Amino acid sequence: SSDEEGGDEYLFKIVIIGDSAVGKSNLLSRYARNEFNAHSKATIGVEFQTQSMEIEGKDVKAQIWDTAGQERFRAVTSAYYRGAVGALVVYDISRRSTFESVARWLDELKTHSDTTVARMLVGNKCDLDNMRAVSVEEGKALAETQGLFFMETSALDSTNVKTAFEMVIRDIYANVS
């Protein structure tokens, strides 16, 4: 919290990680601007977006970081993780390899951040149910084993996007307030 001014303001850094093309940038644009881009290229230059919500009458701001495509080169830097208090670890329910990468992303997160980071496993593209390659049960089971929240989302049709971000933000808030 920024209590320098004695105000009721909180600013939480949250990172989004996961393989290329799982929908990280679209989850963020859906949440922060209610936008979806069917042909999104790796966003260059935009490091993060800030979104506010109110909890218990307090203004809580989430500064949500997007990888800008570095994950393709397996070189998401430690600066990206620095100071993060929340993380969304995203896979694509229609591409099994992206689910298999989750363990590696969790390792990297562990290496670069505090153990108290609020973490959510996100199975994105749940609108592609007819192409499903990872069951809901598998997602849930992995999340339970690793002690993460779990949610399936669709940045395309907006399913659970707001809920997923807000669950993480509320959990962080509960731990610091």
* Nearest to 123, CA basis, from 153, 143, 148: 153
Judged by CB under 6 A, the residue of 15, 60, 155, 172 near ligand GDP is 155
Contact partner at residue 125 from Mg ion, ligand GDP, none, CB < 5 to 8 Å by partner kind: ligand GDP
20 contributes a contact to ligand GDP by CB under 6 A: yes
Judged by CB under 5 A, the residue of 17, 18, 25, 64 near Mg ion is 25
CB of 116 to ligand GDP, least distance (A): 25
CB of 22 to Mg ion, least distance (A): 9
124 contributes a contact to Mg ion by CB under 5 A: no
Phi, psi of 129 (to 5 degrees): -60, -30
Rounded to whole angstroms, how far apart are CA atoms 22 and 2? 33
Rounded to whole angstroms, how far apart are CA atoms 48 and 66? 6
Q: What is the DSSP string of 117-133?
A: -EEEEEEE-TT-GGG--
Contact partner at residue 154 from ligand GDP, Mg ion, none, CB < 5 to 8 Å by partner kind: ligand GDP
Q: Strands 58-65 and 48-55, how do they pair? A: antiparallel
Judged by CB under 6 A, the residue of 51, 113, 124, 160 near ligand GDP is 124
CB of 22 to ligand GDP, least distance (A): 4
